[in-house]
Amino acid sequence: MGKETVIALVGKPSSGKSTTLNSLTDANAKVGAFPFTTIDPNKATGYLEVDCACARFGKQDLCKPNYGYCRDGKRGVPIMLLDVAGLVPNAHLGRGLGNKFLGDLTEADCLIHIVDASGTTNAEGKATRGYDPLADIEWLQDELFQWILGNLMERWGSVVRRHTATKSTNLETLRQQLGGYSATKHLIGLALDKVPDVGPLQEWDTATIERVVRAFMSVKFPTVLSLNKMDHPDSDKNVSKIILQHPESKCVLTSSITEVFLRKLASQNYIKYDAGTEFVDTTDDLTPEEIAKYGLKPLDEKLRRRIENIRDLVLYRFGSTGVVQLLQAAADTLELVPVYPVRNVNNFTGGSGNQVFRDCVLVKRGTPVLSVARKIMGDVTIAAIEGVGGSRVGEEDTVDRGKNDILSFKIVPGGGN
Ligand SMILES: Nc1nc2c(ncn2[C@@H]2O[C@H](COP(=O)(O)OP(=O)(O)O)[C@@H](O)[C@H]2O)c(=O)[nH]1
Ligand SMILES: [Mg+2]
């Protein structure tokens, strides 16, 4: 298997990173085994919700993913999440565990910056009131910038000498210098495309280097803002300010503590809750038959009031707790498309049995199907690639949402390893 997509949760202490991670990973339904090999306490599997291909063919009843889940055509595709704690102001100077934290980030394809929108924690995460969370957004971006720029400037003299001595291109030299951030040549090329007419590297002044670093950050660390603690009364005005100041940023309003609470109540059978929606049903809302069917327990007065509060403060105002949308926003930013490798292109089953669409991988839209094959099967010789109904798909054809996303790879017998 190729490299998995990794989404890192970042933010100052007490912004809600761990709560958000819990809200995304404590899946309340039967969920397939853990597909990732790395065991690390700060890593967890989240589930990106997509419209599953089974619904296109009316095969929801036969859809049993090997990993993740599928409920009536809504599929949860596993995605790796990383809780990157310990970031404090000036981490790039090595304060606290700063540099270790920054090093952990290199694995990430996308960042979710958890912002405490309520302003009830200061820059260091200590309790306060009326703190301006705009400062956190700028500080985090600046921290990353200083870190990358610092690493580059530290050895700029020798970088330039080597660049001229080896007659390298800007791309080759930057690849050497920025490859350590798990950045591919392609990615660095995209960054360079964002700063046209920079001229040869040996002539760059500080301002130009800074522009290149900013461009690199934007492709290597695309960021979604989670404006968290939306349930708090002070959050509204801060959110308006943030959205006004950062119109280009992708923002999702969240209340991760509410999601954790609702999932807990659902697992204790007090409510019926579809994660990510505004729909919470209690015994007050359902018929005796439905209550029996779902096995719901009656609420006491205190619980009933809390649920009313959650509806008023979060669900009815914002449409949901936002956490499911948060992963979707990250996936949109990365332009991820679910692709379903199948054995049988007529009934979509795998090697055996009648269950359909057992596998699903996330790939960037526009990826050639041959690269998808490599990602899934490694370095084997592909004889042919087929789509739905056995239609031939060219190796260089690309995948998109709903296009070339159901594929069967025919391997040359004995041509693999
Ligand atoms: N009101 C409110 N509090 C939250 C929310 N999410 C987290 N918290 C609280 O914020 C504090 C810090 O949360 P935690 O997840 O440990 O933050 P971390 O340090 O970023 O991992 C805890 O007391 C949480 O209960 C939220 O959505 N709303
Ligand atoms: Mg934490």
DSSP secondary structure, 253-319, as one string: E--HHHHHHHHHHHHTTS-EE-TTSS-EE-TTTS-HHHHHHHTPPPPPHHHHHHHHHHIIIIIHHHS
Sign of CA dihedral 392, 395, 397, 399: positive
What was the pLDDT predicted at 37?
Answer: 38
Of 91-95, 182-186, 268-272, the poorest mean pLDDT is in: 91-95
What was the pLDDT predicted at 95?
Answer: 58
Inter-CA distances, 178 with 92, 99, 183, Å: 16, 16, 7
For the chain, domains (ranges, CATH) are 1-255+322-334 (3.40.50.300), 256-321 (no CATH), 336-411 (3.10.20.30)
Mutate-to-test residue for ligand 1 from 9, 12, 14, 116, highest number of ligand atoms within 8 A of CB: 14
Q: What is the biggest distance separating any 2 CA atoms in the chain, rounded to whole angstroms? A: 81
Band of the pLDDT at 7, cuts 50, 70, 90?
Answer: very high
Mutate-to-test residue for ligand 1 from 257, 260, 313, highest number of ligand atoms within 8 A of CB: 257
Query: How far does residue 13's CA lie from ligand 2's centre (Å)?
Result: 7
The C-alpha atoms of residue 195 and residue 92 are separated, in whole angstroms, by: 25
Mutate-to-test residue for ligand 1 from 9, 19, 128, highest number of ligand atoms within 8 A of CB: 19
Q: Ligand 1, closest atom to CA 13?
A: 19
What was the pLDDT predicted at 91?
Answer: 73
Q: Which two tokens stand for residue 346?
A: 């007529």
* pTM for the full predicted model: 0.91
Asked whether 242 and 133 are in contact (CB, 8 A), the reply is yes
Q: What value does the mean pLDDT take over residues 16-39?
A: 62
The C-alpha atoms of residue 63 and residue 51 are separated, in whole angstroms, by: 12
* pLDDT, tens digit, 9 for 90 and up, residues 255-305: 999 999 999 999 999 999 988 889 999 999 999 999 999 999 999 999 999
Among candidate residues 175, 166, 178, the one with its CA nearest the CA of residue 202: 166
Q: What value does the mean pLDDT take over residues 64-82?
A: 93
What was the pLDDT predicted at 62?
Answer: 97
229 lines ligand 1 (CB under 6 A): yes
What was the pLDDT predicted at 41?
Answer: 59
User: For the chain, how are helix, strand and coil distributed in percent, rounded to 5?
Assistant: 40, 20, 40
- Ligand found nearest the CA of 253: 1
Q: Crossing angle of helices 323-333/17-25, nearest 10°? A: 90
Contacts of 346 (CB under 8 A, 6+ apart): 389, 390
The C-alpha atoms of residue 61 and residue 56 are separated, in whole angstroms, by: 12
What was the pLDDT predicted at 350?
Answer: 86
- pLDDT, greater one: 181 or 1: 181
Q: What value does the mean pLDDT take over residues 342-370?
A: 93
DSSP secondary structure, 163-175, as one string: HHHTT--HHHHHH
Q: Which helix (H) or strand (E) holds 25?
A: helix 17-25
Q: Which residues pair with 50 in a beta bridge?
A: 75
Sign of CA dihedral 15, 43, 220, 259: negative
257 lines ligand 1 (CB under 6 A): yes
Q: Which two tokens stand for residue 278?
A: 């505004």
The C-alpha atoms of residue 50 and residue 201 are separated, in whole angstroms, by: 43
Q: Which residues pair with 410 in a beta bridge?
A: 384
